[in-house]
Amino acid sequence: MKKKIKLMSHLVAGYPTEDKAFTAAKALVDGGADILEIQLPFSDPSADGPAIQSACTQVLKRGYKTKDGLSFITKLHEAFPNVKIYLMSYASLVYTPGIKDFCKKASEAGVSGMIIPDLPFDFDEGLTEACIQNNMINIPVAAPSMSEQRLQKMANAGFPYIYAALRTGITGTATFIDNNTLEFLQKVSSGGSKIYGGFGISNGEQSKALCDYVDGVVAGSVFVRIITEYQNDDSALYQKVKEKAQELCEIK
């Protein structure tokens, strides 16, 4: 019998179309994904690699707005009520309409967690409090480039979950799981927070290497690349995304 590791799968809302994005989401859920991390398309993403940047650009060219992304999330929540949905965005999209108002709308759409990588965990403009008020959690991002002191401060700040970026730089390029990676994960989890590990996760071997150190693995660019490759064949898109999800979350 295969052991399963929790999988958080990343999708860009509306990419390449609303219907195909929904097909991809269904494939992820059917493939075993426990969490759908839905990114609102953004014009200048600081942490995203070429695959996600290109996807965001294509969606934004259609005139896609934040309200469209929230409507997409509502549709997902209604279709998969037992699957957690986390919203990933950048600070300006959340801050501009007002963080309290944004969090209220996100919660109403079915979001249970927020991931805003460019809002510092200790200067978050009220994001954590707004999440608590709307029955959501704020999931800060830890990076290996953080100082020991700051990493320790985050680890002991009482967050239920922390997203550990497994290396510096942008998403989508290969990540090697070595002793330094595992030591970093142990530091991030030292305060009792559960850890999601991501950045460059694309195969089952990486999941196996991480399974004893994280509560779940995060994969994004690998799915965006599959969606891009098979966007003109819905059946193949569904099957390939589902198979990759199964590979990432089923470990022997």
Tell me the catalytic residues: 37, 48
The whole-angstrom separation of Cα 189 and Cα 92 is: 29
The whole-angstrom separation of Cα 25 and Cα 33 is: 9
Residue with tokens 């409507």: 71
For 176, other C-beta atoms within 10 Å of its C-beta total 11
Q: Answer yes or no: are the C-beta atoms of 36 and 87 closer than 8 Å.
A: no
Alpha-carbon distances of 180 from 12, 167, 175, 176, rounded to whole Å: 30, 10, 12, 10
